[in-house]
Structure formats: structure tokens, C-alpha cells
Structure 1
Amino acid sequence: MDKYEVIKLLGEGSFGRVYKAKMVSDSSFVALKVICKGRRSNKEIVGLRRECEIQKHLHHPNVIQMLDSFETPSEIVVVTEFAHKELNTILGKEGYLSEERAIPIIWDLVSALNYLHSHRVLHRDLKPQNILIDSKNRAKLCDFGFARNMSTGTHVLTSIKGTPLYMAPELIEEQPYDYKADLWSLGCIIHEQIQWPTFVSDNCITFLKGLLQKDPAKRINWDEILNHRLVKGHILICDDSTNMPLTRALSDKTLQVKEQQRNDNKFNFIEENHPIETEEWIVFLQKSMEEVINGEMTSLTQPNLTNIIVSPLRNTNTSPKVLIYVAKLLSVPFVIQGVSEETREQIRKVYLEVKLVPNLVYSSKLLMRVKSEENSSLSPSPSDSPLSVQSSYKNIVDLTDEDLQSLEHIYMLITHLIYSDNEFLSKNKLQVVIDLLAVLTHVLRVFPENLELIEKIVLNENNEGKSVNFVELLRHNDPLLKERACFFLLFLGKYLSPKKMEGLWNETVRETLEALMYDSIESVRNIGPWKN
């Protein structure tokens, strides 16, 4: 770092911090991207190194040039050329650009994307925040955190990457994709920056229609792009492409191989714990929430769309703020008026299909988990979570207000879903009962001041549903269930008043307990109430 003089902080996010700096040797300005290793898994660090490896080989006037990269014991530092503005900032201030101002930016972006694809690199996260404008008003593509260098034998990808607002339909529909996913994102950016519905030329309209074809097979290809009247003659093409650039039309034989890969590849919705940009996700979730409130339920009635919304629940880098918005959005159809019961039932079926409850529970575990180098590399898998075995969890005093709010919203939604439909319970109903007995026993043992709540549950004091049938529990074939039932009775006997205990006691319970004195399971024999 001695070669650089830091001037000011430009921005920060889940990736780290970016500083404006000056090179000591010649006083030229550079950007320093500083990424802390501390709370990142080995897999994430390997990904960061891969990003550097991809970017250092890219040399094009419309791609931010990486000048240097190095590591310290605690940080990875990437040094790039400095650009003065973000396209996102310009659009935030001005709202839109005239077509006359937008067209040079379009030329630059097409030039940058053509260069990447000619080198078999997919960017996979095109958005205004990743487009910089330098002092000469040239647009430059940056941030290659999600970029993928495709080997010559690979024709489609299956891992989800990118920002929901700019994500191609084939990704949302969980289909294998290729370079045309980048072209869709480019179309979204062009559409966003141009003023509508004022005059827009026919050339611009036809170019956008070509980029924003929902079916990637019908989407405009590189031959058509380079010969389109909007950009023809204005694209800066370098001559150093690879032997098999993605910009070249495929042979019939290669097309057959590509189609076979599409059929063979299973879509991998969770490839790694990639960074989650909090503000971008909140904008996406807020817009989705507005649609649902206004009666447009598509995002919650189609599993592939709902899966996009649910995906942050499985990511270790998701902030509590995003979790709050996810839980709120998924709860909206059950709290607003005007939603038919038929629609709500359809939404519940989708929630079952995307395994919403296991994902919600898993997200709460991730939120409570104390991150360490050992457990941060664990693969997020709600259905086969290693967290309960290998992870330690925060004390309640260490939780922030946002942590507590997110947990509240998550478990309110879980409670509602389970109350509305037993299908949301674990398929292993026996395990649910065993776990519930463990929770109730723990409450009695550690927080006996909550005895009144336990009494309401066990004695059915509100006359709702059935009271606990201890005979059925104690006579069950599962030894762990019998053991937990004995433990629970033991602590009930300690804290419940004699009068209320009499309400649970009868001759059948007594005979069952006496029989357990000779049970084949030693742990049941040793912990029964008769030992006291």
C-alpha cells in the first residue's frame, strides 16, 4: 500500500470498500477495491482470486483496466483505473437520458460486451451500478465478481448469478443459459436510461426489441447486433479474440452438443454464497410488494419466480434487512383484503413446492450463527443443514434490533403457514412431537417463570383442541419419544401444583409409568418420575 495515497472513500457494499487513491510515483488517480478476508470462506476467497485472474487479462477501452492486485494477511486489494461517475448516479439525478446522449453509451457497452464474449467471458451482473463514466465520457464496464470464463467445451451455464431486476427470463425460469443472458441485461439497461414515451427512433426500438426477446433462441445474436443500424460502424472490435469466440455463429455439430448440454444440465440455483447487495434487493422486493398489494400475484403463484424471492434465505451473506423484506413480501397475500381463498391456496401450494418453511428456519439459523472460518465455508442446504452439529450461535444480547425484527417476521410467517395448513409441518410428524417436547421441557427447566404458558398448552385451559395424551406418548414404539415424555413429566411434577397435576393423573398413566420401570431402554428406566 506504500505505492498509493488514499484520498477518500467512494463507496462500500457486501464486496468491501472502494477508495479513490493517488499513485505516489506519478500522481495519477486510481481506484482501490479493498476486500476483507476475515469473514469470508475459503471458497469465497478463491472466487475473488478468480475474479482478479479474469480481469487482469482484459484490455479494452470500454472495460475498466486492472492495474495491480495484491494480498495482505487480512485483505485482498485490487487496483484499477479511476473513473469519475457511475451510470446509476447519473440516472438517479437526471432520471433518464435523451436518446442522443444515450447512444454513445450504448456503443461503448456493446463494444465492451462484444470484447468479453469474444474472449468467452460472461459478465452475468450487468446493471447501471457496474457501468462507470470516465473524464472523456466513455462508458466502462466494471465489477467482474460474477464473471465466468467459459471453457471451449462449455456452451451453457446453470448457476444463478446477477441482480433480479436485470435477470434474463431463462434464469428466472431455471433454464440453462449462454451469452444471450448478458444481452437481455444490456437491453434492460438501455430501456432504463432512455426517456419514455418521448420520441425514440425506430432504430433504437428495433434494437431493444431484439435484445428483449423473452425466448433466447429468438433474441438478437452478435452478427445481427454488429450489422444493426443503431450501432453499425461504431463498435470498437479488438483483434485478439480466442479461437472459439462466443460472438461467432456455431457450427451444426457444435449446436447439437450445446443442445445436449441444455438437456443434460440440471439448473443449480445455489452454486455458492455470493454477495447480496442489500439496497438492490430491497428495491426489487419493494417493487414486488407493490405489485402484490395492487393485486398482481404472479411472483407468488409461479414457483420459478417465488424461488428468486426465496433465494436470499439460503445465502449466508444476506443482511437482516433483506430478510425482513422477504418475509414481509411473502406474508402480504395473507393480510391484505381482496385476495380470494383460491388464490391464497395456490400461493400456499407454491410455498410448499419451494420448501418455504425449511428455508425460513434455515435463514434464522444462519442469522443466529456465529461466523467462523470453519463454518463459513459450509454449503447452504436447508434440507440437509450441518448447522446444528457444527455451528455455535449468538446469545440473545448480541442480536441487533434488525436481527430481532427479522426473526420476528420470519417466525410469524412460519407460525401462520403451519397454523393454516398442516402440510407445512415436517413430513416426519414424529420428529416434530419429539422436538416440541424437548422445547417445552427446556422452558420448564431454564425459564420456570413461564409455567403458566406450559399449563395452557398441556392442560388445554382455553378448551381449544386436545389436551396432551401422555399415555399415548409413553406407550409409543419410539424410544426417544418415550424418553422425552418422561423428562417432560418429571419437570411438570416439579413445578405444577398438586391440584393441577391431579388433572393429568389417572390409573392408566400410573400403570404405564410402572411398566416403564422395566422398559428395555436404559435411559427410559433411569429418568422416569419414579426415580424421584
Structure 2
Amino acid sequence: MIDSFETDEDIVVVTEFVDKQLYALINSEGPMPEELVRQITCDLVSALFYLHSNRVLHRDLKPQNILIDALGKAKLCDFGFARHMGRGTMLLTSIKGTPLYMAPELIKESPYDHNADLWSLGCIVYELLVGVPPFKTSNFASQDCISFLQGLLQKDPRERLTWPDLIYHPFLKGDVLVQQDLAASLPPLTEPLSDSQQLFKETQRQILLDRQPRGSKLTKFVDYFKQKISLEEGNVKTVDGEPMQISPSTTPTPDNPANSNSQRVHTSKSREKKKSKSFEPKSQTEESESDEENQVQNYEWLDYLHRSMEEVFNHDLSCVFKPPLVKVATSPLLKRNFSPQVYNSVACLLILPFITEDRNSTRLKTLLESYAESNVVDLLVQGMWTLLAKKKSELDEFDLVKSKQLSSERLLAIENIILLLSYLVYKQPYPKVDIFLNQFCNAVKSRGSSFALVTRHLLTLSKRRPKIVSDILSIYNHIIRILPSQSLVVLEAVIGNSATKAKEKKQIDLGKFLDSPNAMLRLNTCVLIRYLTRKFGASPYKYWDDSIKQKLVRNAKEDTDLKANVAAGLAVEVIKKLELITSA
């Protein structure tokens, strides 16, 4: 690294320019002479020795991440998946890397250590010699080279060639550059473990194996639940109060979830050519989401929550049937020292009964009463805040994690929390009492104006997570429809108040929502514009430019989704009435 500096939006790192990539070299040159392979290997072993002596795992060794400078020196790059192992961490479990170069223990989802990097090194050395990734072939390398590869490519990581024997192997002939920080406070990974350290490591391995998440069915059922909500709870009332049922043409099942977002707005050819690109940054590791001393606690909670989910799959709702047990299951939502996977698992546990039980089951009514008595809505709102706030900081304008820096794990947890919130606010466990909707409004009031900041922050995710934005708008629409006295909450979240900075007001562009390929987001945006215009007249309308009306008119004519098309037409009618009144 040559230099580094920060801008308002980014951290910039300046490094040397290296114009050759090992991957391109392999493609153009094919198999390389053994002496050249040995030189490159020595450079890579030198780099790995430096990393491992500082307890850093690269976790994504592959030719694409190795550069070759003008002098032929190999340089290791791209540390996006790198992980520092603290004093109490001997093994990792998160699956990172590229399958072609991934160690067998990662493929089997077993706990692993720095030896996983050495397997990847063996794959690269083999590919340099042969021209393709490892497979059985005839012997043409020297015995020292074969011995080196056999040592690195041992499937059992405990049998793999490792430090310190690696740097003394005859194939390398003492050409490895050994750099070690003598002032380092933690023992390097390049030194052999003592008997007590080895025992601790094996104990940790067994704990991690026993506590690995067992949620293989989870993704399928959560996807099904998302479709089920669209079918059962997606009612948006028209101006005349008649329900507008939002439902895809295909009824989903757990094994065949329908794709309700397949409908798009068909406009001009230029718009069809402009395809929205989904942006998913490289996810930060699960371990970086919580302090190392809390990792075991994370695994314990994941184990408990996944076992509880297995019970729910088997129609045993005892773990969430009574308020005290609900409070136990949701207690992580009140703390900041858990990984996003824990928050996501809490939301999924609370969601699952609505999938496994018949919709007319009396047990669901009892369950909803239990959720209401436990004030689950407030806990979910708190969990959403925790996921958005920077670690160990108060929740304010400067401490929210920037939208583009939110990892996929955080976004998934936030999406499922809001999914459950949007489901609950439409439910009435008690006759004529919108208990969950009232609890949501109380949660908003108790957090003051900063709640608007949080929701406005989430509304910037329309490209990465349109489902999040659509569900938030659905909740807001329901507030205006059922509790009109709370409509100011919605106005402040979408438009801002007199104290809102002009820069923040420009962040929420409803016009982008109307352009979204997500039909539900387009529909809920149209309904929100109509409700806000009817409720507040010109107050919100003055913040919208002419393009909003133009896009509404366009969608009313061209939106291929019937419900979104009708909603756009109704919004246009309300705006036209407002324009007639203001011009009179």
C-alpha cells in the first residue's frame, strides 16, 4: 500500500500498479516450466507465511487474485474474504472462497484453519504445472515437486504439509522470504501448537461441528411465506373501500414458489434497453459481525433457534405459544452483540408457524395473542434498528451503516423482520382492535423523529432489496387507511419535515419506485401517493416534480400488472382533482 485517504463516501487505498494477472498468463502460456513455477511458488509461500504469522487467513487463493509484476514477482491481492483469527479462535466455519480451489473441509462445511489456504496453494501450483486445475494425469514433474503437491493436497487438513515444515521443503530450496513481526502479541499460525493448544483446538472443532446450523429447509419455506403473504394479506383498498386483491397468477407451494414479480412495465424501447443491475457487494464475514468473545454465544443461540424451528416444522408450537417463551426467543433482538444470522433466525422462527399451520387453525389465533401480549412488534422494530446501527454506537444520523455497506446477511435479516411486521400489522387477533398496528405506531412514537431517519434509510434500498421497500410502503399505506391520525408519521418518513435537510429529501425518489421491475413496489408506491395526496393535499405534492405525475400516467396506460395499472390510474385521478382545486 502506497497511501490511503477518506472521502465523504469512501475509504480510498492507493497501491502499486501491476498489470499482469496470473490467470491471464496461464490462459495464454499454458503449462509453465518447473523452475518458473518454483519461483512463483516461493513468492506465494512468502506472502502466506507473512499472513499466517500475523494470524490472517486469505480464504480466496486463486490465479485471478495473483498479480505478476514487470520483474516476474508474484503478488497476492484481493483480501475481501481475509479473516484475522484472534487469540481464542482456532477454527472458522463461514464458507468463503472459490469452489475450484476450496479445501475439502470447506466443501464439507466443516470447521477449518489456515491449512485451507495451503490446499488452495497446492491447487494453484498444480495448475501452473499442468495448465488446468487438479485432476489425475501422467507424472512429468520432479520428485520434489510431486512430494510438495502431495503434501499440500492432503484431504485431511491435519495431514497437510504446513508450517514450519513447508518452508523447509526441498522443492523451495530455502528461497522463501521469511518476514515475522517479533513484536506481535498473538502467537503466529506459522508455529506448531502446544499440546494444550491442540486440545483446545480440537475441543473447539467439536463444539462448532455440534452447533452448525441445521436450517436447510429454511430458505425454501421463507420464500414460500413471502409468496403466501402476497396471496393472503396483500389487500389494498380502493378509493371506494373495495378490496383490491394482490395475487400472482400461480398459487405457490413450498416446493414451487410463484414468482410474483415477473410482471414489468413495458414502455419505450430505450427504457427496455436500460436494464437495472442488481448490486450485491462482497459480504463481510459472519465472524466480523460480532466480537470474537461472543462467537460461542452466537452458535449457542443459532443452535437453540434452529432446534426450535425444527419443532415448529413438526407442528410443535410450544416454543412460541406462551408469552414468556416468546420473550426468551426474541431476547437477542434487544442486544447488539449477536450476528445478523441470529436476528434472522429469530424472525424466521416467528414466521414459520404461519407456514406450517392451516390458516384457519385456532392455534394461530392463540399464537397471535401470544405475540401481541409479548409486544413482538416493538421487539422487531428494535432488532431492525440494531441491524442498521453501527456497532457499539448510539442510533443517530452519523451512526447508521451506509446502505451500500450493508452486508447481504444484514439485509436478509432486515427483510425478514419487515416481512413479519407487514404480516402482523394486517392481522387482528382481537375483534375490532388493530393491536399490532397500534403497537407499531407506539414503537414509532417512542423512538421519536429518528425513526423517520431509519425508514428513509431503508427506502434507499429499492434496487438491492425492493421487497424491503415494498413492505415498508405497505405498512405505511395501512396506517393511513386504518389509523389516519398517525398519517404524519408516514409523511415525515417519506417527505421529511421542516427540519429535514434538503439533501435528505432528495434521497427518496418515488419516481424510481414507479420504474421498478417489482410489481408490488410499483403498486404500493401508487397507493401511497394517492393516500398522501388525499390526506394532505398540496403539502406532499409540492415536493414531487412533474416526472412523478408523468410516470403515473405512463403506468396507468402501460403497466402490464393489472393491479399496479389500476392503482396508477386511481393516483392520477386524485392528483388531477387536487390540481383543479388549487388552480380554482
TM-score between both structures, scaled by the size of structure 1 = 0.42
TM-score between both structures, scaled by the size of structure 2 = 0.39
Which structure: greater strand fraction?
A: 1
